[in-house]
């Protein structure tokens, strides 16, 4: 039997992560990019990690999600660099901020710690060993210097300092009480939201905490409350999976790994370097699409953006999920692209725009090694969405716009804000007014560890950084989406209308033929608003 070439082995891995026929992929890979073969960001990250772990090959993530044919990108894979373990040799030294941390700390100074606090929780069912949990937290902190990083102000601006030893605090709260019929997790999150600013604002210490809240007999909520400068959503998901694996080892009295991971400051080509300036052509295109979006036409003028926000949670149902998956397979795009396209369509129709920008979470030049380190390396990058063509043409266009935007994920934030034409309001974040994030692939809906079942929930601290932000929280089992909205821009009723518009846009996309013009999918916003009975949300939650 002939030994497969490195390219053939990489194509086999790609087929496996995409979920397609290994025999058919090489023909498509010769002329099509990864993202139009059904591969999304989550699949790209898994392919990159498996290529390094199983084959010892490094694949560039930005190229993988770029416009080049998949076979060409994989053919450029090189041997992965071998790095020595460790990284604690500079503990205590003052270091410059990493990309993204400056903006998070500036937002905190402008509007308080609650603006930059994030809450991700695991609902734990089963007997909990608190001692094992503390040992697991200590091991996690020893491995990831991001959990031992404190921030301080200096005359030259804020800096960070990595502490040699600093186990994350485990704060235990009194049992939560809820009104009859009220969800206990929602009640616990509401209480945490009120305290989030204090939990991430401890002077001289890392801005994070783990909070344990008893819910009922044999049930606890363990919440990771952290500053945006500590971790992005991908890093937070990594920490959860490692923490539960460590807890499982601690319960069974197996050794825990406390070897420090290579930190982001180690000299290496994969570390996010100085942010680059947007090319003039890209900046000009963004400006042409960046006119303000009026999501809620009303007599009253829009108030100044002040970060105050609320959230709507809603489901889509398994039938609509299955139809979206089928449409994604037909068009050769990931399901997240179908959801992004539906969001752009709903927002564009509501605002009367055929071309618009949607900010999307993307990693800044990561490699497999960096994605195994808890570090905030994500950026919100404007994706140029054009509502044109037939359904499948439109979906592939959104996929290509996403891959194009990824090439500029490491651009300077201030330069990108100028290019987009961000309003001069001092409270206005640099991101586009409307954003999208697909977090359903970062964490499974649940995990088992050490006799516990952990089911994940995302809290809302009461602050937003965009007028309207759609996030996919779950997809594979019971789809769950979150619509966060700025109180200064939308009322709750208007946000609910926008959520219904999203559902209508998604339904139209997945029930139409591949060549149906996008212009024919939905009626005008005025006709929708005047409809005698608006379709209710599938799973309305407070």
Q: What are phi and psi of 343, to 5 degrees?
A: -65, -45
Q: How many CA atoms lie within 13 A of 196 on its CB side?
A: 28
Confidence of residue 291 (pLDDT cuts 50, 70, 90): low
In this prediction, residue 119 carries a pLDDT of: 95
Q: Is 402 left (phi over 0), alpha (psi -120 to 50) or beta?
A: alpha
pLDDT tens-digit readout, 88-102: 445 667 888 887 788
pLDDT tens-digit readout, 185-236: 999 999 999 999 888 888 889 999 999 999 988 999 999 999 999 998 889 9
Residue whose structure tokens are 């734990």: 124
pLDDT at 524 over 50: no
152-156, 338-342, 371-375, 517-521 — which one is most confidently predicted on average?
338-342
Using CA atoms, how far apart are residues 208 and 117, in angstroms rounded to an integer? Answer: 9
pLDDT tens-digit readout, 356-387: 999 998 877 666 777 778 888 788 888 999 99
Using CA atoms, how far apart are residues 254 and 257, in angstroms rounded to an integer? Answer: 10
Mean pLDDT, the chain, rounded, equals 83
In this prediction, residue 301 carries a pLDDT of: 55
Using CA atoms, how far apart are residues 309 and 35, in angstroms rounded to an integer? Answer: 33
Span 411-435, average pLDDT = 60
In this prediction, residue 86 carries a pLDDT of: 46
**Roughly how many angstroms between the first and final C-alpha of the chain, as a whole number?**
60
In this prediction, residue 428 carries a pLDDT of: 47
pLDDT tens-digit readout, 299-323: 455 667 788 899 999 999 999 999 9
In this prediction, residue 226 carries a pLDDT of: 95
């Amino acid at each position: 039997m002939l030994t497969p070439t490195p390219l053939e082995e990489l194509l086999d891995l790609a087929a496996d992560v995409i979920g397609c026929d290994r025999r058919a992929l090489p023909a498509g890979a010769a002329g099509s990019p990864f993202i139009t073969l059904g591969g999304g960001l989550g699949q790209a990250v898994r392919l990159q990690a498996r290529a390094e772990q199983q084959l010892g090959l490094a694949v560039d993530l930005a190229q993988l999600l770029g416009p080049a044919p998949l076979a060409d990108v994989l053919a450029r894979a090189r041997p992965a660099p071998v790095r020595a373990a460790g990284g604690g040799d500079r503990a205590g030294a003052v270091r410059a901020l990493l990309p993204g941390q400056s903006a998070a700390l500036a937002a905190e100074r402008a509007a308080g710690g609650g603006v930059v606090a994030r809450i991700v929780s695991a609902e734990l069912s089963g007997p909990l060993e608190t001692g094992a949990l503390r040992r697991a937290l200590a091991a996690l902190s020893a491995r990831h210097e991001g959990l031992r990083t404190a921030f301080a102000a200096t005359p030259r601006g804020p800096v960070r300092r990595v502490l040699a030893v600093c186990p994350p605090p485990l704060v235990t709260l009194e049992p939560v009480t809820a009104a009859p019929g009220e969800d206990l997790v929602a009640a616990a999150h509401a209480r945490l939201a009120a305290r989030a600013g204090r939990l991430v604002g401890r002077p001289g210490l890392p801005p994070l905490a783990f909070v344990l809240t008893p819910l009922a007999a044999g049930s606890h909520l363990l919440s990771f409350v952290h500053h945006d400068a500590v971790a992005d959503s991908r890093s937070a998901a990594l920490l959860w999976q490692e923490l539960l694996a460590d807890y499982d080892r601690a319960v069974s009295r197996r050794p825990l790994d406390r070897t420090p991971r290579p930190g982001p400051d180690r000299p290496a080509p994969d570390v996010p370097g100085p942010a680059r300036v947007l090319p003039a052509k890209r900046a000009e295109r963004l400006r042409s699409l960046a006119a303000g979006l009026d999501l809620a036409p009303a007599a009253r003028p829009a108030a100044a953006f002040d970060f105050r926000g609320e959230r709507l949670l809603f489901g889509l149902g398994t039938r609509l999920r299955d139809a979206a998956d089928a449409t994604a397979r037909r068009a050769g795009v990931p399901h997240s692209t179908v959801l992004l396209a539906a969001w752009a369509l709903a927002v564009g129709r509501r605002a009367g725009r055929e071309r618009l920008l949607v900010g999307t979470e993307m990693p800044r030049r990561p490699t497999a090694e960096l994605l195994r380190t808890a570090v905030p390396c994500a950026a919100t990058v404007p994706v140029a969405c054009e509502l044109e063509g037939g359904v499948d043409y439109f979906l592939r266009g959104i996929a290509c716009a996403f891959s194009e935007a990824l090439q500029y994920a490491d651009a300077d934030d201030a330069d990108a804000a100028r290019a987009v034409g961000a309003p001069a309001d001092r409270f206005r974040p640099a991101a586009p007014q409307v954003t999208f994030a697909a977090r359903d692939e970062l964490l499974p809906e649940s995990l088992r560890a050490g006799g516990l079942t952990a089911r994940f929930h995302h809290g809302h601290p009461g602050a937003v950084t965009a007028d309207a932000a759609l996030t996919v929280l779950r997809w594979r089992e019971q789809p769950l989406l979150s619509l966060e909205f700025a109180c200064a821009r939308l009322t709750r009723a208007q946000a609910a209308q926008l959520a219904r518009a999203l559902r209508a846009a998604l339904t139209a996309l997945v029930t139409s033929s591949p060549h149906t013009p996008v212009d024919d999918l939905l009626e005008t916003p005025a006709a929708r608003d005047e409809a005698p009975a608006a379709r209710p949300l599938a799973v309305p939650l407070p």
